[in-house]
Amino acid sequence: MAASGTLTTFRLPPLPTIREIIKLFRLQAVKQLSQNFLLDLRLTDKIVRKAGNLTDAYVYEVGPGPGGITRSILNAGVAELLVVEKDSRFIPGLQMLSDAAPGKLRIVHGDVLTFKIEKAFPESLKRQWEDDPPNVHIIGNLPFSVSTPLIIKWLENVSHRDGPFAYGRTQMTLTFQKEVAERLTASTGSKQRSRLSVMAQYLCSVEQVFTIPGRAFVPKPEVDVGVVHFTPLTQPRITQPFELVEKVVQNVFQFRRKFCHRGLSMLFPETRRPESTGKLLELADVDPTLRPRQLSVSHFKSLCDAYRQMCDEDPRLFAYNFREELKKSKSKFQEEDDTERYRL
């Protein structure tokens, strides 16, 4: 029994190393799934430390694989760790960890893109959005192939305050290809400034906390890996619906080397494109000759507010998609061409 006044800290008992687990269960990274294993527990411990104080926390780990980060999370004194793993090959190794940590580790064989986390943890953990973040964390070494669609999905959840963010401003500590990590954190004017930069930074405080060299992974990827920490803001820097913000930002950055008015013009039907683009820029008070990477979140706020005003004036405008108009134009041209050939 522990002496009075001292705290007992949970530590995993001696276990096979991650390398031994990989050998024992004959695990191999699948290139098509962009899997890379992190075997150095000093690095997995560092990732977990960057997530903050996890004592008695409830943690949702995505893509645990052979369980390197899983071990570090369990050793951080969490109340409960929920892991979601799509690849059934990793389940036996994770079950070994669960047996070594009774009542601490819950394993779900499923897809993180479709898994419903809203009811996975106790209701008592929920906090008001304006309060401090809840004692719930998301941590994961994400496969490169899923990292971008997953973070966009979670950013949309942040905007709607649902999914993992039904508990409040849940913090996330995630790995990305270094290039993607740099895009997520890029400042206005940076060469790495992109759609991801704006979508992440208008909703969250985003920080790249450290870089892991590619040689630390097995198999070694061709790029280094960035660890990024996200904390949702109490108030988003753009207050328009996520779908509207995403549409404006996507249109601007599809012509990233052009002046911003080029991408913005594609928000409008061809018949009134110059007039409507001019009105949008005037309402937003944005210089049409700025490049996309020169636009700050404040610029995008003004553009989104102005576009919303124009959509309210013409309810059909938001549904407009220039790609559909382009398809119709091509189809019409093809029909006319076929008719002319038939006449000949």
For the domain that residue 195 is a member of, what is the CATH number? 3.40.50.150
pTM to 2 decimal places: 0.89
From the number of C-beta atoms within 10 Å of its C-beta (0-12, 13-18, 19+), residue 320 rates as middle
Query: Residue 3: what pLDDT?
Result: 45
Q: Establish if 339 belongs to a structural domain.
A: no
Verify that 130 and 251 share a domain, yes or no: no
List the end-to-end C-alpha distance of the chain, in Å, as a whole number. Answer: 98
User: What is each CA distance from 84 to 94, 97, 116, 220, in whole angstroms?
Assistant: 10, 14, 11, 24
Rounded to the nearest 5°, which phi and psi values hold at 239? -100, 5
The CATH number of the domain holding residue 299 is 1.10.8.100
Pick the closest to residue 157 from 94, 213, 199 (CA basis).
Answer: 199
Q: Is residue 253 part of a domain?
A: yes
pLDDT at position 328:
67
Last residue within a domain, chosen from 179, 208, 232:
232
Q: Kindly state whether residue 237 falls inside one of the protein's structural domains.
A: no
Give the per-residue pLDDT at 109. Answer: 96
The reply to whether 169 falls in a domain is yes
Residue 300 in domain: yes
Do 277 and 226 have their domain in common?
no
Distance CA 42, CA 45 (A): 5
Domain end marker among 232, 257, 289:
232
pLDDT for res 42: 96
Distance CA 141, CA 72 (A): 13
Give binding residues as ranges: 36, 38, 63, 85, 111, 141
Domain of residue 292: give its range: 242-327
How many helices (H) and strands (E) the chain has is answered by: 12, 9
Q: What is the Cα 123 distance to its own chain's centre?
A: 24
270 is a domain residue: yes
What was the pLDDT predicted at 313? 98
Residue 77 backbone zone (phi > 0: left; psi -120 to 50: alpha; other: beta): left
Residues in the chain: 344
DSSP state of 121: S
191 and 73, same domain (yes or no): yes
Question: What does the alpha-carbon distance between residue 201 and residue 196 come to, in Å, rounded to a whole number?
Answer: 8
Indicate if 152 and 288 belong to the same structural domain: no
**Binding site listing for S-adenosyl-L-methionine:** 36, 38, 63, 85, 111, 141
Q: Do residue 299 and residue 152 come from a single domain? A: no
Q: Do 124 and 254 lie in a common domain? A: no
- The answer to whether residues 220 and 254 belong to one domain is no
Instruction: Spell out the alpha helix ranges (H) of the chain.
Output: 18-24, 41-50, 68-74, 91-100, 144-160, 178-185, 195-201, 242-253, 260-265, 273-284, 297-313, 322-343
What whole-number distance in Å separates Cα of residue 48 and Cα of residue 36? 18
pLDDT of the residue at 144: 86
pLDDT for 293:
98
Q: Taking Cα atoms as reference points, which of 342, 238, 241, 244 lies closest to residue 300? A: 238
Residues of the chain below pLDDT 70? 1-8, 24-25, 29-35, 328-344
In a domain, 11, yes or no: no
Would you state the pLDDT for residue 343? 47
- Quick one: which of 101, 68, 100, 102 has its CA closest to 85? 68
**Helix, strand, coil percentages in the chain from 3-state DSSP, rounded to 5:** 45, 15, 40
What gap in Å lies between CA 75 and CA 82, rounded to an integer?
14
Q: How far apart are CA 158 and CA 152, in angstroms?
A: 10
Residues 285 and 304 in one domain: yes
Query: What pLDDT, on a 0 to 100 scale, did the predictor assign at position 295?
Result: 98
76 and 133 part of one domain? yes
Domain end among 177, 210, 232: 232
Statement to judge: residues 83 and 56 lie in one domain: yes
Q: What is the pLDDT of residue 215?
A: 93
Domain total in the chain: 2
Tokens of 179: 């290039």
- pLDDT value of position 150: 96
Backbone angles phi, psi at 60, to 5 degrees: -115, 110
Claim to verify: residue 40 and residue 141 sit in the same structural domain: yes
Q: Is 127 found in the same domain as 77?
A: yes
In a domain, 332, yes or no: no
pLDDT at 339: 45
